Structure 1
Amino acid sequence: MTLSYIVFFTADDPAARVSDGDRAAVRSVLQSVPGLMSARLYTPQTASDLYNDDGHSPVFGFQLEFDAIEALEAAVGANGPLQALAAPGALPSLSGAEATQQAMLVRRFAVPEPAPLSPQACSYVVHYPGPAADTNAWLSHYIHHHPPIMRRFPGVRELEILTRIDWIDAMPWRRVHHLQRNRILFDSADALEAALHSPVRHEMRADFGDFPPYEGGNFHYPVATEEVMPGR
């Protein structure tokens, strides 16, 4: 079982960016988190979608992977290493941004041509705040119907769907409890845009029309994706 701890920083200014120094500080902290399997850092990227335009992407984000809830909760506990990133002034370039956090269960799906992250790797991250009228029915439909379509996107390298769990933390960042998140990975923003303009995108939209009732809409953001491995 894989668990993710996800943090996104959002700012009203579409030109806001995390500084190189702050990114280096995040990398430094993450490389020594006990129990951390891997991490992805996310920064804004641009790619058009035939059906969605949800505005500028979050100014910064990261997704941390653990194989046990105990390791995740220790990392975000009162004495956990991630407290260093939330201390006042720790990340100056993000001082005007709001941070949200959520721990989730990860379901991964095989894709025809998986590949390691390229230097220009780009993810499409999606979240559904919810709620659904019937959570079980909604997730059952999505997980059984959407991934078989998504995996046919040309050039897709990774595909994952994340669902809610309960977790304990002592971080000052605002908790969110989104119904679901998704992430698909491509070699570049151009490759993502080509996929989002392919015939598969129309199939995705058709299945969207069959979703069981839910509220909260959905939000789609392209993000440049960097991998950080502990100890490297």
Structure 2
Amino acid sequence: MEVCFFLLAHCEDARKTQPLIDPSWLEAASREVQGLKRFAIHLPVQAPDSDPLSKTHASSPCCALQWYFDDLGLLETALQTGGVTQGVVDRIANTAGANFTFAQQAMAVRAFATPHPGDGEMGRHTERCTYLVSYEGEAENFNLWLTHYLTHHPPLMAQLPGIRELEIYTRLDFRSGLTITRATAMQRNKVVFDDPVALAAALASPTRASMKQDFNAFLPYSGATPHFPMRSIYGNLKPT
């Protein structure tokens, strides 16, 4: 099973939703990481009409970076002190015009088939619109929660019109040379679309209403569930 490293940068001034982070150097830095399989770089974007069924009002990350590895050992090697990852954190922190807080998390990746997946060729640079979701709290019984979730929710998510990718993540313990805060999200989700218009159409579809009905049937859980539309750059470094 793949593992994914999340590096999240939040701007302390919520009004500055677009700090001067150039994704081109993030892509170049990602391609320098030894053992990296693929990556995703996410920046905030406005999606028309957003999600009519979501009650989330939290501000989105100013930048979210996902690095994928074939195993946890490769990820931990990439997180050693003084490596590329620390350089990325330092450069974002020194971006003019904004103050940042950071969080890191390693998670197991569960990928699900979609009817019309995106292009996954080696070396491919693809721009998409991604909807990131995180479950920040705790389930009363996580084993039962996850079993119910994985059984019932992905088949509905895969029916969203225009969906390209679908992944669900669960947290892992990991070693890191980074001294930034560790995020503790119980679970994260990612659904990918061609552009913000396609995302908005999916969120307004009857399938999204069915997902909301299933959400209301989830086992006991307490905590925030922020939903963020993001402009994303995807790249593969080795065959999938």
TM-score normalised to the size of structure 1? 0.92
Does structure 1 residue 13 correspond to structure 2 residue 11?
A: no
**Conserved? CA contact 1:50–1:201, under 8 Å:** no
Of residues 36, 52, 57, the one that matches 2:54 is 52
Rounded Cα–Cα distance in structure 2 between residues aligned with 1:19 and 1:111: 34
* Paired position in structure 1 for 2:145: 138
* Paired position in structure 2 for 1:27: 27
Residue aligned with 1:85, SS: helix
- Which ranges in structure 1 are unaligned for 5 or more consecutive residues? none
The worse-fitting range, judged by mean Cα deviation, of 112-121 and 170-179 is 112-121
One-letter identity of the residue aligned with 2:111? R
Residue aligned with 2:80, SS: coil
Of residues 127, 132, 140, the one that matches 1:125 is 132
The structural deviation recorded for 1:189 is 0.4
The structural deviation recorded for 1:173 is 1.8
**Conserved? CA contact 2:126–2:235, under 8 Å:** no
The structural deviation recorded for 1:94 is 7.7
Of residues 63, 81, 90, the one that matches 1:87 is 90
Aligned positions of 1:65-214 closer than 5 A? 65-87=68-90, 91-93=94-96, 96-116=99-119, 120-214=127-221
The structural deviation recorded for 1:81 is 2.2
The structural deviation recorded for 1:5 is 0.1
**Conserved? CA contact 1:76–1:171, under 8 Å:** yes
Rounded Cα–Cα distance in structure 1 between residues aligned with 2:31 and 2:93: 17
- Which ranges in structure 2 are unaligned for 5 or more consecutive residues? none
* Count of aligned positions: 230
Rounded Cα–Cα distance in structure 1 between residues aligned with 2:194 and 2:53: 21
- The RMSD of aligned alpha carbons is 2.1
The structural deviation recorded for 1:53 is 4.6
